[in-house]
Amino acid sequence: MEDEKSKQNSLSKEILSWIIDIGIVLVIVWIITSFIAQKTNVIGQSMEPTLHHGDHVIIDKISYRVKEPDRFDIIVFPFQQNPEQNYIKRIIGLPGEEININDGCVYIDGEPLEEIKELELIANQGSQTYPLLVPKGQYFVMGDNRNNSKDSRFIDVGTIPKSDIVGKALLRIWPLKDFGVVN
**H helices within the chain, ranges in order?**
2-31
Contact (Cβ atoms closer than 8 angstroms) between residue 45 and residue 145: yes
Among 61, 89, 149, 168, the active-site one is 89
Contact (Cβ atoms closer than 8 angstroms) between residue 9 and residue 106: no
Taken as a whole, the chain contains a residue count of 183
Q: What is the pLDDT of residue 22?
A: 92
Q: What is the pLDDT of residue 2?
A: 61
On the question of pLDDT at 53 being above 90, the answer is yes
- Nearest 5°: phi and psi at 47? -105, 10
Q: Does residue 34 sit in helix, strand or coil?
A: helix
| CATH class label, 42-181 | mainly beta
Cis upstream peptide for 78 (omega within 30°): no
Q: Does residue 120 sit in helix, strand or coil?
A: coil
Among 10, 12, 34, 46, the active-site one is 46
- State how far the Cα of 31 lies from the Cα of 29, in Å rounded to an integer: 5
Does the active-site annotation cover 46? yes
pTM to 2 decimals?
A: 0.81
- Tens of pLDDT, residues 78-133: 987 777 788 999 999 999 999 999 989 999 999 999 887 778 889 989 999 999 99
- Tens of pLDDT, residues 6-50: 777 788 888 988 999 898 988 888 877 767 778 888 998 999 999
Domain ranges of the chain: 1-39, 42-181
